[in-house]
Structure 1
Amino acid sequence: MSEIYQQFAEVYRRGSYPEFSKWVFNLLPSLLEKYALPRSGKLLDLACGEGTFLEGMLLNGWQVTGLDQSSNMLRFAEARLKNTGKSFRLIQDDMRNLSFENEFDLVTCWFDSLNYLLELADLENTFRRVFRALKPTGGFLFDMNTLYGLFVRWQQHPVYISQETDDLLEIHIPSCDYEKSEASLRIILFVRDDQKNQWNRWEEIHTQRAYPMDIIQSALEKAGFQVLARLGNLTEQSPALPSSGRVWFIAQKPA
């Protein structure tokens, strides 16, 4: 995990990826209301990236803390959040090292960031630490790629262009290891440097593990959470199915 989102951080910020965070932010209020979760207070966003989701929450009155391993992502997040004129906290660390206790009303982790935990023990440990970080009745919301998502949807094309502009070309090459329940995405970047009048090439490999939905739910319950919902379509708020490419979990720390 520590070697990704280096050069890709700039491409991520400039591309369409932040639109996912905006979409989730717009849908969040209805979820919090439906499942009677806190609608104000202190938020911890794990794998916060370049800060689009944090910005929305900050402007809507939340006290926000963002955590990410990538120094480049946090640099972009800091610049974005400073423009709000409000106070915030950013932490560079691994989510597996969380050490907060009874501090947050809401913890979120978006865009399949938890799939980067390749060992079940790490996923369980992270859930325990999130549980400890939440206040009683606090909510934990996250999404993960499913088995179908990684082994069917990711593998639809052997190679494809993800983004192409006058100064950027992003190519994705997926692969998978069924025995390990892992899928990898080789990301090749060509970025134009106008000052040097040249193109630079970078490459990152992003590996994720898919966990059966029942295993994820069991790990949450083992940590102490009550699972309120697992959704396959966030817009329609419909239940997750075996053919869902992504699953959205909504969990709560009991009172």
Structure 2
Amino acid sequence: MSYQQFAYLYDELMKEAPYDQWVQFVKEKLANCNNLGFSSTTSQLRLLDVACGTGELSVRFAKEGFQVTGVDLSEDMLAVAQAKAAANGIEIPFYQQNMAELEGLGQFDVVGIFCDSLNYLETEEQVKDTFLHVAEHLKSGGLFIFDVHSIYKMTKVFIRQTFALSDEPISYIWNSFPGEYENSVEHELSFFVLDESSGKYDRYDELHFQRTFSLEQYSSWLMEAGFELLDINADFEHIAPHAQSERIFFVSVKK
């Protein structure tokens, strides 16, 4: 399966994802940071959407008034994102870059890495490099917000579990296995997509890797990259993580 096919498939599979909650979370954090010089409106704020994928969040942020730039590793995902922005009458510049090697994109008020995209980095060095390159693209006092899967979700919710969906246009079987590294997982996915012309299903297979780290490690790497940690929250709520939190949000400011 080409990645462009998977990009369109991804949108269908993720249509129930809580994208608006990500947008609302960012807006609420900005509202709580008026003391850092952020205004009550977003119309003048430049936001870099790292690992933007098919542009679902980029478009939503732009509709909220942010001046959005998107960046992603996949050329095909970016093609979908560009078409989506155009269909919504929005101009968003999109660039193809690795998040661990960001360069030349300008200075931003906010940088976000959402939808647990950071978990797709394999090594500690890649995460630390990403933080350093994000810092280079943030204005002094700018916010860096990202979310990751918790260790609990990796080890208790994903590993050795099977998930399945049986639907008319798309069905899938999703098996998760322990990865090579501590707190990592390999997702083995088989998709069955209806070919309306023939009435038969085509099968596509994908293998995805994710890895996470402790709150202490992420916090330490942020400080090493020149950030001050403002908040660690859980599951879209402005509360501290607990033992069974699944999605962890880090909010930091560039010193």
The structure-2 alpha-carbon separation of the partners of 1:134 and 1:194, relative to structure 1 and needing over 3 Å to count, comes to same
- Report the alpha carbon displacement of residue 179 of structure 1 after superposing the two structures with TM: 4.9
Partner in structure 1 of residue 103 of structure 2: 99
Query: How far, CA to CA, are the matches of 1:4 and 1:186 in structure 2?
Result: 17
2:193 pairs with 1:160:
no
Which structure's relative contact order is higher, taking Cα pairs within 8 Å and 6+ residues apart?
A: 1
The structure-2 alpha-carbon separation of the partners of 1:122 and 1:144, relative to structure 1 and needing over 3 Å to count, comes to same
Unaligned stretches of 5+ residues in structure 2: none
Partner in structure 2 of residue 210 of structure 1: 212
- Report the alpha carbon displacement of residue 24 of structure 1 after superposing the two structures with TM: 1.0
- Report the alpha carbon displacement of residue 159 of structure 1 after superposing the two structures with TM: 1.7
Identity of aligned residues (%): 27
The structure-2 alpha-carbon separation of the partners of 1:185 and 1:78, relative to structure 1 and needing over 3 Å to count, comes to same
2:136 pairs with 1:132:
yes
Query: How far, CA to CA, are the matches of 1:52 and 1:220 in structure 2?
Result: 27
Structure 1 runs of 4+ with >4 Å offset? 3-6
2:30 pairs with 1:44:
no
Alignment of 1:178-189 (within 5 A): 179-189=181-191
Query: How far, CA to CA, are the matches of 2:121 and 2:246 in structure 1?
Result: 18
The two structures, once aligned, show a CA RMSD in angstroms of 2.1
Partner deviation per Cα, 1:138-161 (whole Å, 9 max, x = no partner): 111010012111001113x63221
Aligned length: 249
SS for the counterpart of 1:85 is coil
Residue 105 of structure 1 aligns to which amino acid in structure 2?
A: D
8 Å CA contact retained: 1:4, 1:206: no
- Report the alpha carbon displacement of residue 182 of structure 1 after superposing the two structures with TM: 1.2
Residue 112 of structure 1 aligns to which amino acid in structure 2?
A: D
Residue 114 of structure 2 aligns to which amino acid in structure 1?
A: W
Partner in structure 2 of residue 10 of structure 1: 8
Among 177, 185, 200, the residue aligned to 1:175 = 177
Residue 110 of structure 1 aligns to which amino acid in structure 2?
A: F
Among 218, 221, 233, the residue aligned to 1:219 = 221
Once structures 1 and 2 are overlaid, which stretch shifts more, 81-90 or 181-190?
81-90
TM-score w.r.t. structure 1 length?
0.90
TM-score w.r.t. structure 2 length?
0.90
Partner deviation per Cα, 1:105-126 (whole Å, 9 max, x = no partner): 1100111110111110110000
2:23 pairs with 1:21:
no
